[in-house]
Copies of this chain bind each other. A is one copy, B any other.
Amino acid sequence: MINVAVLGFGVVGSGVVELMDQNSSKIARKAGSPIKIKKILDVREFPTNAYSGMITGNSDEIFNDDSISIIVETIGGTDAAYKYTMKAFSKGKHVVTSNKELVASHGPELLACARENNVNYLFEASVGGGIPIIRPLSQCLAANEISEITGILNGTTNYMLTLMKNEKLSFEDALKSAQQKGYAEANPSSDIEGHDSCRKIAILSSIAYDEFLDYKKIPTKGISSITLSDIENAEREGSVIKLIASSKKTESGISAQVAPAVIPKNHPLAGVEDVFNAVLVKGNAIGEAMFYGRGAGKFPTASAVVADIIDIVDHMGVPRKNGTHSWVRQLQP
């Protein structure tokens, strides 16, 4: 029996707990061992929740429990999440996260710390929600020199742009709809100004090119200046407007950007609508491959978290020569 603790009982955290329950037999079969959620850390109380008995506000109950070998960090942000992740490593616990801010800003340091402590730090859920993209980039396309990544990486803005195009809504009305549906937060700037996409393309690029790309250096423009008439103009030319996050590796180095782009309707990304995400990857052997699916949401994201947990359990007690994610080894000190 492998014991897991979840930090943060929000949308993704509760999704992980519920998914582990719902698909427990398949998960145990895949991992080669039953896996149990033992504790959940949250400062809030959830008296009527089915899992309320597992919830604690005292992190010591988790970090001092040697029977817990895997920590799921779904707190978000870079404060408590950073502190708890480092603490987990120092206690010899593996960490799985969906936290793109933390991975984009402290990834190399955290991966190095995990390696020193002979544990794993996996973050498939940090980009693309349920879409398998980090493991395919890192493992399945390992024989390729990757030259280009182009993606729709933010579901909220893609939902808004789809609504503006299909329902002729203004930017403001599309934003209201996204907020009503729970896709956009009360302060939606991280999505609509492109910061969320920026962190995600930084993570994907770092893995694809085996070299850490600092998200702060990526020119980033969101969709807040896009009007309905821009979208109608694009449509008249047989095109659509999408918020595109992209990067290229050339002989002169790596370049990346996030910006709205007018793309023709026959482009593979043009048909990606609603909250869906997609990532196009160019490699020198495969040519072009695309990965498409739900880029956010409770269970899609939980699916990626649990796949990482299974991977860790499947390799437990096994010293790997390489981590699943190799880019930390390429970093300059």
Contacts and interface: CB of A to CB of B under 8 A. Distances in A.
Interface of A: 19, 22-23, 26-27, 29-33, 124, 130-132, 135-136, 139-145, 210, 266, 268, 271, 283-294, 297, 299-300, 302-304, 306-307, 309-311, 314-316, 318-322, 326, 329-330
> Binding site of A, secondary structure by majority: helix, strand, loop or mixed?
mixed
Contact of A142 (B210, B290, B294, B307): B307
Contacts of A143: 19, 23, 26-27, 30, 302-303, 306-307, 309-310
A303 B144 contact: yes
Contacts of A284: 22-23, 299
B303 A283 contact: yes
Given A140-B132, A141-B303, A318-B320, A290 B287 contact: no
Contacts of A319: 318
B285 A130 contact: yes
A287 B128 CA distance: 13
A293 B303 contact: no
B299 A293 contact: no
A186 to B, nearest CB: 26
A322 B30 contact: yes
A140 B135 contact: yes
A307 B22 contact: no
